[in-house]
Every structure is written in C-alpha cells, then in structure tokens.
Amino acid sequence: MKKLLCYLKDYKKETVLGPLFKLLEASFELFVPLVMAAIIDVGIVNQDLPYILKMGGVLVILAFIGFVCAVFAQFFAAKAAVGFAANVRKAIFDNIQKRTYSQMDSFGTSTMINRLTADVNQVQTGVNLVLRLFLRSPFIVFGAMIMAFTVDVKGALIFVVTIPLLAVVVFTILLVSIPLYKKVQNALDAVVTKTRENLTGIRVIRAFSMEEKEVADYDDKVAVYKHLQLFAGRVGAFMNPVTFTIVNVATLFILWQGAGQVDTGVLTQGELIALVNYMAQILVELIKLANLIITVTRSLAGADRIADMLEEKVGEENGGEAVEGVKEITFRNVSFRYKNAGADALQNLSFTVKKGDIVGIIGGTGSGKTTLVNLAAGFYQATDGEVLVNGKALCDKDLATYREHFSMVPQTAVLFSGTIKENLQWGKENATEEEMWHALTLADAAEFTQKKEKGLDSEVLQGGKNFSGGQRQRLSMARSFIKDADVFVLDDSTSALDYATEARVRQGIRKLSEDSICFIVSQRAASIMDADLILVLDNGELVGKGVHKELLADCSVYREIYSSQFPLEEEVQHA
Amino acid sequence: MRKNTLYMIFKYIKANTVLLMLSLLLALITVAGTLLLPILTGKGVDLILGPGNVDYEGVLALITFAAVVIGITMIAQFLMNLCNNRMVANVVERMRRDAIRKIQHLPIRYVDGNAYGKVVNCIIADVDTFSEGLLMGFSQIFTGVLTILGTLVFMFTIDVKVTLIVVLVTPLSFFVAGFVSKKTFTMFTAQSKARGALTGFIDEMVGNQKIVRAFGREEESMEQFEILNDELQKVSLKAIFFSSLTNPSTRFINALVYAGVGVFGAFCVMDPETAMTVGELSCFLSYANQYTKPFNEISGVIAEFQNALACANHFFAFLEEEEEKDAVDLLHQVVSDAEERKESKGNAATEDKNAAKTAEEKKQGSVEIRNVTFSYAPEQKLIENFSLKVSPGERVAIVGPTGCGKTTLINLLMRFYDVKNGEILLDGTEIQEMDRQELRSHYGMVLQETWLKKGTIRENIAFGRPEATQEEVEAAARKAHAHGFISRMPNGYDTMILEDGGNLSNGQKQLLCIARIMLTDPEMLILDEATSSIDTRTELKIQDAFATLMEGRTSFIVAHRLSTIRNADTILVMKNGNVIEQGNHEELLARKGFYYELYQAQWA
C-alpha cells in the first residue's frame, strides 16, 4: 500500500482536508452529551426555560455544523479516492504498455485486466472509507474517554478498562475470522469451478455416464463450503453479543460507581447521564470500525497485488544505435529459454536470411516456430548466442527503431472495434484508400470488402466477431501488408483459409517479398514449400535447413511432415 | 414476479421451519432485552437523585436484574446468529445441490444455447444474494419492526407528547435517504456506463497487448485510455460524493430528533403534571437514537430484498427449465418432502436393475438411420430425410464443408439432441426407447473441444474408469503418444491441470482426451475432429493406435483433414445436411466429384 501512496500526491489537499473535516464533525458530536448534561443539571434543576431552549438551539447548531463538516469531508474524500484510482489505473495501463513480451508473459492477460479493473475499484473504496472513517472512529472512542475524564475522573477509569477490553475482543475476532473468510472464499471458488466444469464438459460427462460421480463430487465441494461457512459464521456470531455485553456491563459499573459519586456530591445526575451516553457512543463507533477493517483488509490485498505489478521493472533499455533498415538477419548459435521454463525453447540455431527471401518455418506444435520469429523481431532476447542485423549485433542496436521495420501478422487474427479502414490504419496511419485496396488485394480481402455495403467504412465489432475466421485472417494480413516494412512475419496466419484462397494469398506474399524479407510460419508443407529457405524445427532444434527438394532428400522430419500431408501424391496426380 | 417464486421460496424455507421459528423467538428476546436496558438505566438514574439522596439498595437490585437481562440477551443474540447462519447455509446448500442435478437433467440444447457465465452466475451469485438478502433481510426486518414497535410502546407509556416528536420527525430521514438515492440513481447509471466503456477498452487492448506492441500503437491506445479514464473519474466523483451524503443527512435529522427530545423532555420533567423523571428522559434519549436506526436499516434492506427476489426469480426460472424427457435419475436427490423421497427411491431401484442389464448386454454395433429430419432452429433446415446403414465393425468417415451437419449427426447418435422425425436404431433397437446413459455407455467419444477437469493428469485420463491402475493409465497414455510430454511435466502423472487445461497446449489436451478413450473399452467409437490440433506428424503416429482401437468396432470419424480418414470403410461426403457422395477413398477419387475437389484443394 505504501508504494501506492505516491498516486495520492496530486490530492494532498483533499487527503488532509477530508479527515480534518471528519474530525471536526466528530468533535461536535462529542459535545452533545455535555450539552444534554447542562440541560438537566442547570436547566431542569433551576427550572430555567429560556436556558433549556438556548441549549436546544446549541444542539441544533452543533448538528448543523457537524452536517456541513461532513459534507465537506465526504466531498474531499470522494475527490481524493476517485482521483487516486484514476492515477493508479493510468500507472497500471502505462506499465502494461511498456512491457516487453517476456514481461507480459510473467503476468498473463486476465491478471493484468483484473489489476486494472477489480483491484483498482477495491482500492478506491478502501481509500475513500479510510479517509472518511479511519480517523473518525478512534477519535470518537478516545474522545469519548477524554470527555469522560472532564466529567469525572473516577467514572472515566471505567472507560480506560473498557476500551482496551473491547478493542482486544473486536480485533481478536477479526484476526481469527479474516483468514477464515479467505478459506470460505477458496471453497466457494472450488464450487464455482465445479459448476463451470459441469456445463463446459456436459457432453463428455454424459458420454462417459459420469453424472452421478460429478454430482457426488459437487456435493462434497458444497459440503466443504458449508462447513467452513458455518465455522467462520460461528466466530463472527460472537461479535455483537460480546461487545453488547461489555458495553452494558460497563454502563452498570458507571451506574454503581455513579451512585456513590452522586451521593457524595462529586457528580451530578446530568453528568452521570452524560457518562452513560459516552459509553453508548463508543459501542456504535467500534462496530463501524470493525466493518471498516474488514473492507480495508480486502483493499489492502488489492493494493499489494497492484504494487507487485507496478514495482516490477518494465520496458527495455533504449539507446544503442538506431537501425536504418533491415537488409539481412543472421542467427548465430542462438538459444532461448522462457523465464522459469525447464528446458530451452530453441537450441543453437544458425542461419542467415537476406532481402528478397521468403523464409518458411515448419514444425510440429510446440517446436519453437513462433519463438523463432519473435526473437528475429526483437520481442525476446536470445539467452545464448546472438542475432545480427545487417551483420552487426542486435543487442547494440535500438530495439524500438529496429522493430519499426517489421510488420507482424499474429497467430490469432484479432481485429479491433472500429471500421476496416481504422484497422488498416494500425499498419500505416496515413495510408491512402488506394494503398488500402492494394493491401486488401494482396491479402485476397478486397473482394469481400467490396461486397460490403460500406466498403472500407464497414463496421468491425470487438475482436472482429462479425467476420468469419478466414476473413479475419485476411484482414489481419492486409493490416500488416499495408506497412512499408522491411520484414514481414506471418505466424501461422493462413490456417483458417481453404487451399485455393491460400494459394492466392501466397501470390500476394511473393509480390511483397520482392523488396523485403518474409517469414512464413506454418504447419502446412504446402504453405512453405516454395520458400527460398525452409527451416525445419523439431522440439526447439533446427533439424533441417534448405529448399524443398533438398530437405525432402535429406531431412527425415521434413519428409515425415510432408508425407503426412501429401500421403499419396502420385495417386492424386494419376487419378 | 413469477407467481411460483414465493411458493418455491416457501418450499426451501419449509425444511428449516424449526430454525426459522427458533430464530424469530430469539430475535424477540434479543429485541426485548435491548429495549429493556435503557429503561433500567433510566430507573437507576432516578434512584440517584443527588447528594444524600441515593437509594443504594434499589440501585443494587436494579443492577442485578440488568445483569441478568444482559446475560439472557447475549445468549439469545448469539444463538440467533447461529440459527441464521445455519438456516442460510442449509438453504444455499440445498439450492446448489438441486441446481447441479438440474444441470444433469437439462437437454444439451439448453446448455449450448445459454452462456456458461450466465448459468454459473445464477447458481453462485444469485443464490448467495438471495440467501443473504432474503433470509438475513428477513431477520433484519423482523428485528427492525419489533424494535420500532417496542420502542413506540415503551415511549408512549412514558410520555405521549415527546413520543409524537420522535414519531413525526423521524420519517424525514427516510424521506431524505429516498431523495438522495433517487437523485444518485442516474449518476450511478452514468458511472457504470463509463466503467463499462473503460473495461471494454481495457479488455480489447490489454487482451491483445502483444499486437498493440507489434504495431507500435502504445501511444494511441494510451491517449484513448486517458479520455475514458478521465470520463470515469468525473462521473465517479459525482456518484460517490452524492451517494455518500445519505449518512450525514440522516445523522443530521437524528440529531434534530435528539435535540427535540432533549428540550421537550426537559420541559416535561419540569412540568409537575406530566411528572416525567430525569431517568425517563435519559431513557428517551437513548430510544431516540435507537428508534431511527432500524428505519435506516429497513430502507437499506428493502432494496436488498427486491434484489434478492429478482435473484430468486432467476434461480427458480432456471430450476423450472424443461428437462429431458427421460433424464437420468440421480441418486441421493436432496428433496425434503417425504413423498418425493419415496418416489426417487422407487426410481433408484429401477435404475439399479437397468445398470445390471447394461452390464450384461454388449452391442454388436449395427447402426441404422432411417429418414431422419433434424434442425436446431425450426426456420433453418439442416438434416432432412437422412438415411444410412452401418454394419458392425464398419469405419464410417464423414467429411464436408463447415456447417454441413457432420457434428449434428454425432449429436443425434449420442442423443445429445433428439431427432425431429425418423428414427435411429442400434442393433435393431430404437435409441429413443433406450436409456440415454445406457446408449452412451456403448460409445467412446473424442471431441474437437477438449474438455479436461481440474485435477491431476491421472484423474483426467481415468475419468471414464476411475478404478484403473497406474499401469493401465500409463499404457493408455503411451498409446495416445502422451506419455512423453506427461513425463516431462513437473509432477508427471500427478501434475495438476488447471481449469480448462490452462497449462497445456491444445494439442496436448487433445492427446489426453485420446488417452482417456484408450483407457475405456467402448464398443463403438466417435471421433469428432479428434486430432485437429495435433500436428500432422504426431497425428500419423496416433493413427496407428486408433486403428488398433477401431478394429472390430463400429466407428464414426468426423475430420477436416482428409488424410485422417483415408482408411475408412465408408466415407460420407455431406453438404447442406445431405449425403451427396458415399464410398471408399479410391471409389470417391475415381468418381471425380465433390470429394475429389476437396482432396485436390487440400493437396494441390
């Protein structure tokens, strides 16, 4: 939490004024029992009607000033909390924007989104409540005690015993029940998971006739949850009765002691009532404080999670020489291992590609194809060996300028909400319509775009849901093709296309590659067999390097892949 | 509101009648004790009038009595809390248990047609809101009303005039609270809209952060983020500030009531006719505080109450969804009514018999589809007048473009959906006549969507045969070519699979699903795009295992890749819900029809 406090600095004034006004309000509240005592001891005893009215007026004025103070306090607290949340959100978003690929991997998308939404909301509520109540409640509790001292020292001693006792009880119950509620939450999560599983797996469960076992498992989970819930509830059930008892017993002590004090004339009847009233105020505030602590622990947990994320050093060191253009990329004994992974994702890779080349990368699932192109594009850094650009080590170059020469077609074809035009502008901000149509044509997406009523201005829904998988892939390719890049990377980006369409796209790529380097990652031999250089990967190792014919002759993995897809080539040709 | 909801709520509460009654009784005692204590304190104050005017004996007796009252109240309050907790826990448990059984009884059509999140939300969040809002709300309202009534009675017996002040001024706080919440409603709507816009944007951008970075769009996306963020900040401030005025406002009104009672109470004490004592005034003051509290609480609870009823509506609507006609009867049904329990016992008995029967009967595996018509939506025709005969042990492959009805056919064979017209026979028996569970027990199935449950790899492979030994599990994994990657996992076969298999690649998940089938010994096989996520080289190796598994077993194979199905005895080429070509690979190629085209497109 401490680390997040710097995001409050724009709201220093509010952070101080909020609690201050709250304290003012509380102090006015503390005067009320004293005024009441005066009414009884002076007004009633002297039968002084105007005095009573005057004191009544004082009560109203106290209430009104208290109200005004409270309004100010609420305003400042809300302003500080909301502003703080906005600052934190911005900081998190900025942090995410700066992350390199491997830094993103260490958190995961849904975690990052959670930090940015749910966690920030929780922290906002926490800050708001703390500013409003965290000072108020202890202030009233101790204020009541101090006021009690001004009324009667002996009576006040009862407060001195009662308050720590109450505090111990309240905090013990809290300390015991907070971890319990965490357990309850975990048990509930297990029930949620099981519920989801029974829906997502309904076909499999029914196919295996496992309904009864699943129901029995579920009943177990529900029973565990119930058990924990009851246990935690039992602890919580102590809170009200025990605090109630302590405060009321203390009141009885005040009464008993007061009897003696009044008898000897040390205390008046009105003052005795004031003491009783102060005791009542304490109970109310303590209960508020307990609720507050529960909320605050929750937001503290959220704050810790956010701080963890913000603390991580993100971004990459910029500097180094700017890259003017990419004419040649060389891998020299490159190995790469993902953070926390047990084995290398790529092992000792060496090859060179030049402008005008189409490079095909083929291999099974998990063989390291995507890792290879991400290394080539500088999204990850080699853990061993080096990547050279135009013959010079990439690590001495400015990666941001290097990546500007790349245009990527990612594996999952994601479009962004907006129009087709806006999506294409991701590739080139100031692209002309002519350029757009050219890119669409290369990606074989011009035809269906033309057929759309609004053409380039056709709406794209979030994720591109209103386009078919194949159309999405083609639009996502067009988005990359429009960029004046030196290197194009297509990461398995034609998997949803039928073979005839893919053939047309391949012609487009051929055109594109005349003046650039094209990396094509694929599982299909057909997609890469006419490449100028084919890299065959198997479990992170480069097991083949060459053109189709050569590999067919001397790379067994390539041959196996090929024959698994072209089983009886002759048969088709002769049929 | 659905008229059934109240009845259903009543039914769930009925099982807890004793707890409910006990809770109400204890609430009564608690309220009485809480109300009695200020009176006792007031009486005590009246015995302590001034120097030399203190009735020690009276005070002592009073204190002893008050101590007893405190003791009883404490115990009653504690027990009431326990009763309420248990009642809520019982109702929640029973609702969830009923819900999971309901899921097993629902037609697949329902599950396919409703977002999972919606159903999960109904069973988790709605049930929680309902139980907390309604049951806790009920007990709060009950104690609240009791407190208000009790306070009124006590106050009236002390003094009518001062009571009237309390009664007349207090509703003001109600009014103010209502006013504030009405005014802030639009602000909260604006806030949730702004929050929704920001969350949507975050989802899209952060969800695709790598693409944003690859295109260097960080600045643009930051700019847009700030616009949305500022907007949210603006509307949030309004909503939070104005809604937080409720407390100070009601507190202000309470303070006014307090001042009023103080002043008029003092007048009454002075007035010899009313003969109110100072102790009674002190009692009044503490009542004035107490009296307004339940009002504020109740206004809060009523909102929660409405919310809870809405949730109950959702939940019971879900429970009343139409079930499959002859849904599987689940043992240990949680039904409280004795009559229903008897009924389910009867069913259980017949089911036991059924189970015994299934064990004996093995199917030959001849399947006949006669003039079947089916569609998911009535206005969209899919399969029409479809017929097919499969002899025991035959391998049938189904190919065709997306949406041609391949998967639908599997849905019908397994009775995930029922045919609209026509019939499907298994070994001459109409499958509509068969028990669904029994029918499905004859099939082994691998689907494109790889479902794994949260648990260890071993548990998942042994899903269909939980009693399988480690050797059997390993053998199945070897056959599916999954043993290699499993042994490389940190804990081998005991590695936990996260929900939805988050820590595995799609291909690995598919291999586990295949291993799961390898372990069971089904009489017939259904493979629906079972190897679509596995690379072709590995697939080729698994094919051998499949070939062994399929030997002598009737098998249905749906595949996108034609290489997968070349060895099938019969290939059905489907288009728009009809079989347009049928024959083996060579015959179909020779025919140079649609299959030939597909094949050419794939390999040329």
Over residues A545-573, the pLDDT tens digits come to 999 999 999 898 898 888 877 765 544 44
Which chain B residues are closer than 8 Å to A343 by Cβ? 488
- pLDDT value of position B353: 40
Pair B21, B78 in one domain: yes
Nearest to A226 among B89, B210, B520 (CB): B89
Residue A526 touches chain B, beta carbons under 8 Å: yes
- pLDDT value of position B604: 44
Q: Is B333 part of a structural domain of the chain? A: no
CB contact under 8 A, B244 and A77: yes
- pLDDT value of position B354: 44
Contact indicator for A195, B120 with CB cutoff of 8 Å: yes
Contact indicator for A203, A155 with CB cutoff of 8 Å: no
- Nearest Cα neighbor of A538 from A349, A338, A334 is A349
Q: Which of B210, B236, B510 to mutate to test the interface with A (most CBs of A within 10 A)?
A: B210
Average pLDDT over residues B577-589: 85
Residue B214 touches chain A, beta carbons under 8 Å: yes
Residue A59 touches chain B, beta carbons under 8 Å: yes
Q: Is B338 part of a structural domain of the chain? A: no
Query: How many whole angstroms separate alpha carbon A303 and alpha carbon A127?
Result: 10
Which of A433-442, B199-208, B469-478 has the weakest average pLDDT?
B199-208
Pair B126, B191 in one domain: no
Dump pLDDT digits (tens) for A248-293: 999 999 989 888 888 888 888 888 888 888 888 887 787 777 777 7
- pLDDT value of position A480: 92
pLDDT at residue A136 is higher than 90: no
Ordered by start, the domain boundaries in chain A are: 1-134+295-315, 153-266, 317-405+487-494+521-575
Query: How many whole angstroms separate alpha carbon A152 and alpha carbon A269?
Result: 12
Dump pLDDT digits (tens) for B98-131: 999 998 888 888 888 787 778 888 888 888 888 8
Pair B109, B235 in one domain: no
- pLDDT value of position B403: 66
The range of the structural domain enclosing residue B502 comes to 367-603
Query: How many whole angstroms separate alpha carbon B590 and alpha carbon B587?
Result: 5
Q: Which of A49, A96, A217 to mutate to test the interface with B (most CBs of B within 10 A)?
A: A96
Sequence-distant (≥ 6) Cβ neighbours of residue B402 within 8 angstroms: none
Q: Is B131 part of a structural domain of the chain? A: yes
Pair B581, B474 in one domain: yes
Average pLDDT over residues B359-363: 59
Pair B86, B235 in one domain: no
- Nearest Cα neighbor of B299 from B198, B181, B381, B382 is B181
A173-198 in b/e burial notation, b at 16+ Cβ within 10 A? Answer: bbeebeebbeebeebbebbbbbbbbb
CB contact under 8 A, B248 and A67: yes
Query: Please, what is the end-to-end C-alpha distance for chain B in angstroms?
Result: 62
CATH number at residue B150: 1.20.1560.10
Helix axes A153-200, B56-105, angle to 10 degrees: 10
- pLDDT value of position B333: 44
pTM score: 0.73
Strands B524-528 and B554-558, bridge-based pairing: parallel
Mean pLDDT of chain B: 82
Q: A317-405+487-494+521-575 adopts what CATH topology?
A: Rossmann fold (3.40.50)
DSSP B333: -
Query: How many whole angstroms separate alpha carbon A387 and alpha carbon A152?
Result: 83
- pLDDT value of position A308: 86
Query: How many whole angstroms separate alpha carbon B147 and alpha carbon B149?
Result: 5
Nearest CA in chain A to B128: A188
Pair B78, B151 in one domain: yes
- pLDDT value of position A568: 55
Average pLDDT over residues A47-57: 91
Average pLDDT over residues A60-67: 93
Average pLDDT over residues A193-218: 86
Pair B40, B133 in one domain: yes
Task: Retrieve residue A129's tokens.
Answer: 């409540």
CATH number at residue B513: 3.40.50.300
With H, G, I as helix, E, B as strand and everything else as coil, classify residue A298: helix
Query: How many whole angstroms separate alpha carbon B150 and alpha carbon B31?
Result: 8
Which of A266-270, B54-58, B350-354, B381-385 has the weakest average pLDDT?
B350-354
CB contact under 8 A, B537 and A561: yes
Average pLDDT over residues B71-95: 92
Q: Is B534 part of a structural domain of the chain? A: yes
A–B interface: beta-carbon pairs under 8 A = 417
CB contact under 8 A, B285 and A277: yes
Task: Retrieve residue B288's tokens.
Answer: 């004035």
Query: How many whole angstroms separate alpha carbon B242 and alpha carbon B253?
Result: 17
Query: How many whole angstroms separate alpha carbon A107 and alpha carbon A89?
Result: 16
The C-alpha torsion from A471 through A477 and A483 to A485, rounded to 10°, is -170
Query: How many whole angstroms separate alpha carbon B501 and alpha carbon B480?
Result: 17
Position A266: which residue type?
V
Residue A483 φ/ψ, nearest 5 degrees: -75, 140
| Portion 277-336 of A in contact with B at CB < 8 A | 277, 280
Which chain B residues are closer than 8 Å to A272 by Cβ? 45, 48
pLDDT at residue B432 is higher than 70: yes
DSSP B405: S
Nearest CA in chain A to B521: A208
pLDDT at residue B531 is higher than 80: no
Nearest CA in chain B to A265: B51
CB contact under 8 A, A47 and B534: no
Dump pLDDT digits (tens) for A6-33: 898 899 999 999 999 999 998 888 888 8
Number of domains within chain B:
3
Dump pLDDT digits (tens) for A444-496: 999 889 988 888 999 988 778 788 878 888 999 999 999 989 999 998 888 77
Which of A347-361, A467-481, B130-144, B348-362 has the weakest average pLDDT?
B348-362
CB contact under 8 A, A44 and B266: yes
User: Given 3-state DSSP classes, what are the helix, strand and coil percentages for chain B, each rounded to the nearest 5?
Assistant: 65, 10, 20
Pair B526, B567 in one domain: yes
- pLDDT value of position A479: 93
Q: Using 50, 70 and 90 to split pLDDT, how confident is the model at B340?
A: very low
| Portion 338-397 of B in contact with A at CB < 8 A | none
Pair B204, B151 in one domain: no
Q: Using 50, 70 and 90 to split pLDDT, how confident is the model at A76?
A: very high
CB contact under 8 A, B255 and A63: yes
B586-598 in b/e burial notation, b at 16+ Cβ within 10 A? Answer: eebbeeeebbbeb
Compare B252 and A135 and report the one with higher pLDDT. B252
Pair B519, B570 in one domain: yes
Task: Retrieve residue A499's tokens.
Answer: 């073979």
Return the percentage of chain A with pLDDT > 90, whole number. Answer: 33
pLDDT at residue A68 is higher than 80: yes
Q: Using 50, 70 and 90 to split pLDDT, how confident is the model at B341?
A: very low
Q: Is B286 part of a structural domain of the chain? A: no
Return the percentage of chain A with pLDDT > 70, whole number. Answer: 97
CB contact under 8 A, B241 and A244: no
Nearest to B54 among A63, A197, A259 (CB): A259
Min distance B456 CA to chain A CA atoms (Å): 15
Q: Is B347 part of a structural domain of the chain? A: no
Average pLDDT over residues A388-400: 88
Pair B211, B304 in one domain: no
Average pLDDT over residues B170-184: 79
Q: Which of A313-327, A343-357, B116-130, B502-516 ranks highest by mean pLDDT? A: A343-357
Residue A268 touches chain B, beta carbons under 8 Å: yes
Using CB atoms within 10 Å of the CB of residue B134, give its burial: 0 to 12 exposed, 13 to 18 middle, 19+ buried. buried
Interface ipTM:
0.80
Q: List the CATH code of the domain at A1-134+295-315.
A: 1.20.1560.10
| Portion 9-68 of B in contact with A at CB < 8 A | 34, 37, 41, 44-45, 47-54, 56, 59-60, 62-63, 66-67
Q: Using 50, 70 and 90 to split pLDDT, how confident is the model at B337?
A: very low
pLDDT at residue B350 is higher than 60: no
Q: Using 50, 70 and 90 to split pLDDT, how confident is the model at A342?
A: low
Q: Is B139 part of a structural domain of the chain? A: yes
CB contact under 8 A, A499 and B602: yes
CB contact under 8 A, A203 and B215: no
Pair B499, B563 in one domain: yes
> What stretch of H or E contains B558?
strand B554-558
Helices and strands in chain B: count of H runs, count of E runs? 23, 14
Task: Find the radius of gyration of the CA atoms of chain A.
Answer: 36
Q: Is B24 part of a structural domain of the chain? A: yes
